[in-house]
Amino acid sequence: MTLIYPVESNAAHPARLSPAYRSTVKRSPSKPLIPMRHTLSELTGPVYGHETVREHDHDLTIQGSGEPLGERIMVHGHVLDEDGRGVPDALLEVWQANACGRYVHVIDQHPAPLDPNFTGAGRARSDATGYYKFVTIKPGAYPWGNHHNAWRPAHIHFSVFGHAFISRLVTQMYFPGDPLFPFDPIFNSVTDENARMRMVSAFDLEHTRPEWALCYRFDIVLRGRDATPMEAR
C-alpha cells in the first residue's frame, strides 16, 4: 500500500496568520508558500525502536515520589489515517499544565503552585491497531497575555509522528463543554466548526474506571490515504 498526502486535506488547519492570536503577526510568512510534488524525502519519515518510549512513560501520575494533586483521568484513542485505518507504532508526545494551570517551564510565571509530583510530560507509542493510552491529571485553565482577561481553555498538547515527515502533527486536545471555547483565539483559529470539534475529546463513560478515574476519548487523524481508494478496487 502506498500512501498519498493530498494537500487539500490541509484546509482543516488554521491560517498561519490569525491576527486575533497576536504572536502570529510576526511569525507567519508574508510570501506565498511554493507548491511542489512530494518526493521520497517528503514521503518517508523516522522509524523508532522501542527504546524511545519506556514502559511507564504514558503514566504522568507516577513520575514523582507521591501522587500528583488534581483529578486523575485517562485519555485514550486511536491514531488514524485519512481512510480511518489505525496508524501502528506512532510516537505520541504530550505536555500539559498541572491541575492548577501551571507549567513546569521556567518562563511560566502564572502565580499558581507547582506540584512536586507532576512534570506534565509523557510519551506513548500506538499499538498495531493505532491505539494509545495516557494516564494523567486534568489540566487547569490558565491566563495568558494575548488580550485583557485572556484564559486558555484546559488542554493537553500532543505531538504525533505518522508514516511520513509531512504527516507530522502538533495539536492540542480540549475537554468537552469548556466555557472558554468562544473566547480563545487559538482554538478558534480553526475556522471550520467540524474541524474545530475534532480537537475536542469526548467523555467516555464506558471506559471510565469505577472508583478510580474518568476517561476521555481522543482520536487523532493524520494526513495520508491509500493511493488506490476502496471504491476504485
Integer Cα distance of 44 and 167 in angstroms: 10
Given 132, 142, 174, 216, the catalytic residue: 142
What single-letter amino acid sits at 2?
A: T
CB of 95 to another protein, least distance (A): 3
Q: Is residue 219 near another protein by the rule CB under 8 A?
A: yes
Set 155, 163, 174, 216: catalytic member: 155
Grouping H, G, I as helix, E, B as strand and the rest as coil, residue 55 is: coil
Does 208 help bind another protein (rule: CB under 8 A)?
no
Active site residue 216: no
Measured from the Cβ of residue 141, the count of other Cβ atoms closer than 10 Å reads 17
> What are the Cα distances from residue 112, in Å, to 116, 143, 164?
13, 10, 39
**Of these, 194, 205, 206, 233, which contacts another protein (CB under 8 A)?**
194
- Which cell goes with 34? 511554493
The answer to the question of residue 108 lying near another protein (CB under 8 A) is: yes
**In a 3-state reduction of DSSP, which class is residue 53?**
coil
Shortest CB 206 distance to another protein, Å: 14
Report the alpha-carbon distance of residue 133 to residue 124 in Å, rounded.
Answer: 7
116-145: which residues touch another protein (CB under 8 A)? Answer: 119-123
Annotated active-site residue 152? The verdict is yes
Give the span between the Cα atoms of 207 and 45, in whole angstroms: 33
Provide the 10 A C-beta neighbour count for residue 76: 19
Binder to another protein among 66, 195, 228, 229 (CB under 8 A)? 195
Q: What is the DSSP string of 104-167?
A: SSTT---SS---TT---EEEEE--TTSEEEEEEEPPPPEEESSSTTEEEPPEEEEEE--SSGGG
Footprint of another protein on 47-76 (CB under 8 A): 47-48, 52-53, 63
DSSP label at 76?
A: E
Residue 149 interacts with another protein (CB under 8 A): yes or no: no
Under rule CB under 8 A, residue 188 binds another protein:
no
CB neighbour list of residue 8: distance below 8 Å, 6 or more residues apart: none
Q: Is 13 in the site for another protein (CB under 8 A)?
A: yes
Active site residue 21: no
Any catalytic annotation for residue 142? yes
Matching residue, cell 505531538: 159
| 169 binds another protein per the rule CB under 8 A | yes
Active-site annotation holder among 152, 163, 174, 223: 152
Which of 50, 55, 107, 232 is the binder for another protein (CB under 8 A)? 107
Task: Pick between residue 70 and residue 185 the one whose CB is nearest to another protein.
Answer: 185
Binders of another protein: how many residues, by CB under 8 A?
90
The residues assigned a catalytic role are 103, 142, 152, 155, 157
